[in-house]
Structure 1
Amino acid sequence: MDIKLLQPVKVVCTSDLSTTLTEILSTAEYTRPLIVTDAFVITMPLVTQVIAALRDAGTDVAVFDQVQSDPLASTISAGVDAFREHEADCIIAIGGGSSIDVARGINIVRVNGGNILDYTNPQQPMRTCPGLIAVPTTSGTGSELSNALIVTSDDQKLAVLADPAVSEYAVLCPELTLTLPQKQTIACGLDAFCHAAEGYLSVLASPVTDAICEKIMFLLAKYLPTAVHNGQDRYARERVQVASALAGWMLNNCGTIAGHSIAHVLGSKYHIVHGEAVGYALPAVMKFVAPVRLQKVREIGQIFGAEYPEQSTDEQIAEIACSTVQKFRDETLGLHPFSDYGISQDELLSNIDAVVHERFAGNTPRLIDVTAAREILLGFGTRS
């Protein structure tokens, strides 16, 4: 039976993170958490308050704060050592996607053994991995509800897809995102939007995932600009955080397509910010799939207010929709031009084969071959 909608994570929304985490630990009977985070997040006042409150409640807390962007397999191995040294019984991941990915990797290895790279093989057996409490401080990856983690090895971004290792709890606290800088807010928001848009266009999509992806895209179109330009607006931050979490859930059910393939290849090689990379890719990906997903491409444009004159050709509809998305990305949000990275077109095109063979390319509703990859890369980062 092809089940298209699963959601095993317990989701909690809160404005009182300390009390919520204390209650979760008590309910689940965990007493020795390992907090997995990075060197910046551990200094955030709200996070230091949480650690103090847990310790005041008698919880034996240890901290692993070695997470960095594009986390390495060796970081996960070091986290496993920290988990075992503390004799921990659960993990509280506080941070962006990298921290939650590292925490998920630690949880997989501490339960199943081996090295996290073993689990990039989808045939590798995996037992259920309880005890992951995910607390996102950004609104982009949706890692708190997704089944995926991305690990870097030998300058390659590799995916582990692990239904048995999803979070046990996801805790959404908008206060953690209020001080997220504008540039990160744009990149994270585009990442969440592209999770929904690519899932919507994926061969794995279903009518029920379509409905959720449409709502995610609506929420981000409506509230992400406010979060970008007025970061202290708690309501906008909350709407964006919820949309990001739901988009992470959709990753488990309808996946992503060629835009993420390109972002994984280029991100690991040139260190392009992931959310920016998928944002640069999306209009070209939409245009490429429009011949077989025209109605959906049209509706993505309509979410941003696109209008299609009567008697528009299919090509004109696709062009209008893609231009509307570009305008939202470049003008409404203010994503900086791809040219800032200083990467030539010839250099981009040197990655065609890697894009063709990236694992998520197969979810694209048209074949991603050399010609297709070249077409999309030629449109990568172009501005209207």
Structure 2
Amino acid sequence: MDFKLLQKVKVVSTDHLDETLLEIMKTENYQRPLFVMDHFLSQVEIVQDVQTELKANGIEYAVFDKVVSDPPTSVVDAGVTAFKEHKADSIIAIGGGSSIDVARGINIVRVNGGKISGYVDPQAAIKPCPGLISVPTTSGTGSEMSNALVVTDEASKQKLAILADDAVSEYAVLNPDLLLSLPKNMTIATGLDAFSHAAEGYLSKLASPVTDAICEKVVFLLYNYLPRAVKNGADREARERVMVAATLAGWMLNNAGTNVGHSMAHVLGSKYHIVHGEAVAYALPGVLRFVGPVMPHKVREIGQILGAVYPENAPEEQTTLIAERTYKDFRDQILGLHPFSDYKISHEELATNAEAVAHERFAGNTPREVTVDAAEILLASYGKQ
């Protein structure tokens, strides 16, 4: 039976991160966690408070703080070594998508053996991987709920996507205090990443009426609260609502997937070092236009949630165009995403990636076939305002 709504992760929303993580350790009888994060986070007071609380209660922890953006496979391999050296029994991943992806990769390899690159093959068996506690510090990737991880192959510079339903987090712990100092540009990029997860899932072949309802709510939350978080990062209510939206959007990754928008982001992001949340945001208008002929009602609904006003009896081509323009206004004017031209990449150069986009694994979720010609058309409009 093809289930359309599975949720294996225990989600906790807390105002006291140290007490909550200690309670999880005691509940699950974990005694030797490995913290996985980047070096900056290891110096953050909230994180240090967590470690102090654990140590005071007899929990022996170790820290692996070698995570970098777009993590290469070698970082996962190094993390596995750190896990084994500490004789760890669990992982506390604190950070954005990179940290949680690395932690998930470590958890897969420590249970199943081998190297993380060996699990790119969808046929590679992955046994259940307990013990991952994910604490997001951005509101975008949804990695705390996702069954996916993305690492970079150092030789080819390509991003490798690994899907593993049995390697999702055991716990996702949400604490908005970790986001209050998130810079404005990261707030915009990560928020738009969450928006794309919901919008692409809504426009995916894997979507169902149940996932549609959740994706619609995610779009609603981000439309109403992300601008507030961008304007005032200390707005705790806005941060919390955006964090919830991102977590729900991450859940939808497992159930509705993404589509060619993420294919473009994965291919172009790894090659040209485009920030992932920005990369999917530049791609989404083209996705709306491409999917419009087969899902006009859904494209229209996205625009309507964003405040689009449609003329009475407007043809589907017009409502799709209005929805696309309304999203661009939200992205560029209300939130203030910087223009793609800042990356100084010509569209002639982008077009050279059409074949890679057409064959990227998530393109297959798109409700229209993404041929090389179609990918060229999508890339021709990529990032245009």
TM-score range, shorter chain: over 0.9
Which amino acid counterpart does residue 171 of structure 1 have in structure 2?
A: V
Cα shift at 1:54: 1.1
> Match for residue 64 of structure 2?
64
Equivalent position to 1:382, from 363, 381, 384: 384
What SS is found at the alignment partner of 2:92? Answer: strand
Cα shift at 1:375: 1.1
Which amino acid counterpart does residue 364 of structure 2 have in structure 1?
A: G
> Match for residue 155 of structure 1?
157
| 1:167-191 deviation per Cα after TM superposition (whole angstroms, max 9, x unaligned) | 0000000000010000000000000
Aligned residues: 383
> Match for residue 99 of structure 1?
99
Alpha-carbon distance between aligned partners in 2 of 1:218 and 1:107, rounded to the nearest angstrom: 34
What SS is found at the alignment partner of 2:93? Answer: strand
Equivalent position to 1:359, from 358, 361, 365: 361
Gaps of 5+ in 1: none
What SS is found at the alignment partner of 2:234? Answer: coil
Equivalent position to 1:269, from 259, 268, 271: 271
Equivalent position to 2:243, from 241, 244, 251: 241
Which amino acid counterpart does residue 74 of structure 1 have in structure 2?
A: S
| 1:288-345 deviation per Cα after TM superposition (whole angstroms, max 9, x unaligned) | 1000000000000001110110131211111000000000000000000000001011
Alpha-carbon distance between aligned partners in 1 of 2:318 and 2:208, rounded to the nearest angstrom: 26
| 1:131 equivalent in alignment to 2:131 | yes
What SS is found at the alignment partner of 2:63? Answer: strand
Alpha-carbon distance between aligned partners in 1 of 2:228 and 2:342, rounded to the nearest angstrom: 25
| 1:142 equivalent in alignment to 2:137 | no
What SS is found at the alignment partner of 2:37? Answer: strand
Which amino acid counterpart does residue 321 of structure 2 have in structure 1?
A: E
| 1:211-245 deviation per Cα after TM superposition (whole angstroms, max 9, x unaligned) | 00000110000000000111100000000000000
Alpha-carbon distance between aligned partners in 1 of 2:278 and 2:15, rounded to the nearest angstrom: 29
Alpha-carbon distance between aligned partners in 2 of 1:288 and 1:241, rounded to the nearest angstrom: 29
Alpha-carbon distance between aligned partners in 2 of 1:275 and 1:296, rounded to the nearest angstrom: 22
> Match for residue 122 of structure 1?
122
> Match for residue 38 of structure 2?
38
Cα shift at 1:367: 0.5
Runs of 4+ in 1 over 2 A off after TM superposition: none
> Match for residue 180 of structure 2?
178
> Match for residue 16 of structure 2?
16
Alpha-carbon distance between aligned partners in 1 of 2:357 and 2:142, rounded to the nearest angstrom: 23
Equivalent position to 2:195, from 193, 196, 199: 193
> Match for residue 260 of structure 2?
258
> Match for residue 76 of structure 1?
76
Alpha-carbon distance between aligned partners in 2 of 1:76 and 1:311, rounded to the nearest angstrom: 54
What SS is found at the alignment partner of 2:94? Answer: strand
User: If the length of structure 2 is used for normalisation, what is the TM-score?
Assistant: 0.99
Alpha-carbon distance between aligned partners in 2 of 1:56 and 1:338, rounded to the nearest angstrom: 49
Alpha-carbon distance between aligned partners in 2 of 1:40 and 1:245, rounded to the nearest angstrom: 23
What SS is found at the alignment partner of 2:263? Answer: helix
Equivalent position to 1:228, from 223, 230, 234: 230
Equivalent position to 2:311, from 296, 309, 312: 309
Equivalent position to 2:320, from 312, 318, 321: 318
What SS is found at the alignment partner of 2:129? Answer: coil
Which amino acid counterpart does residue 352 of structure 1 have in structure 2?
A: A
Report % sequence identity.
Answer: 66
User: If the length of structure 1 is used for normalisation, what is the TM-score?
Assistant: 0.99
